[in-house]
A and B are shown apart, each in its own frame.
Chain A
């Protein structure tokens, strides 16, 4: 079945540590997105990529980094510069183009030890 796979489901970070969240899709979608979801808040865009080897900052990119070396993969690194990383992280993809429907993975919950 085609879909988006996020791993791990749960992740714990120590102070000063970088961690990387994985997102893989087999939908042959061009565009991929990373969102952060906090309790009582809507999803906020961290980074997005419309094509391989290109990505753009979203509204809350500070403390995060991404890469897009392959069409099917869009990993997100939460760096030590992100002082409040505890949140639910969601990856999405779409065929690209403005306003195409987004399809989501099951998320990764990141907590601080």
Chain B
């Protein structure tokens, strides 16, 4: 069964800093990997989706990379802002379903 891990569980950074969130998975036979943002008490908002044949995707200040062979993905956030404060989750599609990590709670300090 696919296991997805996100480290660290929580992260605090000063505004303006560039940061990297990590996601690792045990089964490299994934169809794709999706990064989400979750605000407190809310649903998930899709940020980026990387197909298994791709190595990275970019959207604005966000860049996600995928290394299937090593079972890793990273989400790079440039020039962080207080509005980026949220929990970030990654999910891998393996078999017939998505498997989710437990998330990284990000706080950007003004």
Contacts and interface: CB of A to CB of B under 8 A. Distances in A.
B20 to A, nearest CB: 20
A98 B96 contact: yes
B98 A58 contact: no
Interface residues of B, number: 26
A42 B103 CA distance: 7
B42 A106 contact: yes
A55 to B, nearest CB: 12
A99 B30 CA distance: 9
Given A90-B43, A104-B43, A98 B93 contact: yes
Contacts of B31: 98-99
Given A101-B46, A103-B46, 17 more contacts: A40-B102, A42-B101, A43-B89, A43-B91, A45-B97, A56-B96, A90-B44, A98-B96, A101-B34, A102-B91, A104-B43, A104-B44, A104-B46, A106-B42, A106-B43, A107-B42, A109-B41
